[in-house]
Amino acid sequence: MRIATWNVNSITARLPRMLAWLESSGTDVLCIQETKCSAEQFPYNELRDLGYEAAVNATGRWNGVALLSRVGLSDVVIGLPGGPDYDGAQEPRAVCATCGPLRLWSVYVPNGREIDHDHYAYKLRWFEALGAAVAGDAAQSRPFAVLGDFNVAPTDEDVWDPALFEGATHVTPAERAALAALREAGLSDVVPRPLKYDHPYTYWDYRQLAFPKNKGMRIDLVYGNAPFAKAVSDAYVDREQRKGKGASDHAPVVVDLDV
């Protein structure tokens, strides 16, 4: 079984590319972030033509997440239970469903913006709510994982130049402690390092030729419980999907499972 996570940075802009990738990659379940559309605008019909059901949490032009599955989709949870509000509303950043033998979350963790910004404190509260929401499933015997754009580089090795991020978000001790708390809840990072190349980054800025120069970050992660991790047979970042005109600034992270 093949699952993946991909911050598409607008499903409308990326739809032809994503549909072609789904057909060619043999992906059974895809977790999407930054749909940047409303649920009504989501391309259900195009995905149904390829055999995918969709669970969507999206409200407009910002944020938005989805789960696409061709192996079944049930017990859907829209939104993060107990999640904090920002500017008076809960942003569409989480969706959960059972897909065949797996229980999965697709998450888009808040960016944080700047350390002294309200969004940074919101990010840390959001992580706390995520940990509470997933603890029960993490302890079960069913394979379970949280996939998505975590907006945190787990270690300095996951940033192309850590010195440039000093005093910035994505690398602070508090954010990394939030990831550590998820691991303590029974989840582990199932994408090994190194992979088929030295730096398996998943995000590269559009500016200043960041991708050709491999000035990237590894912030798109797959955190699974012990039964999930035991079933992993392969994992990789599909860098080809970051190349060429019309690419997202993120690449898909793909995990194969023997289940």
Catalytic residue set: 108, 149, 250
**225 is known to lie in a ligand binding site:** no
The CA distance from 104 to 257, in Å, is 13
- State yes or no: 111 annotated in a binding site: no
Neighbours of 92 (CB within 10 A): 23
Closest to 47 (Cα-Cα) out of 75, 26, 22, 10: 22
Q: Answer yes or no: is 249 a known binding residue.
A: yes
Q: Is 250 annotated as a binding residue?
A: yes
Q: Is 10 left (phi over 0), alpha (psi -120 to 50) or beta?
A: left
8 Å CB contact between 219 and 158: yes
Q: Is 28 known to sit in a ligand binding site?
A: no
Is 199 a known ligand-binding residue?
no
3-class DSSP state for residue 52? coil
Angle at 203 between CA 202 and CA 204, to 5 degrees: 130
Instruction: Determine the angle formed by the axes of helices 118-138 and 173-184, rounding to 10 degrees.
Output: 10
Q: Which residue numbers belong to the known binding site for Mg(2+)?
A: 7, 34, 149, 151, 249-250
Q: Which residue numbers belong to the known binding site?
A: 7, 34, 149, 151, 249-250
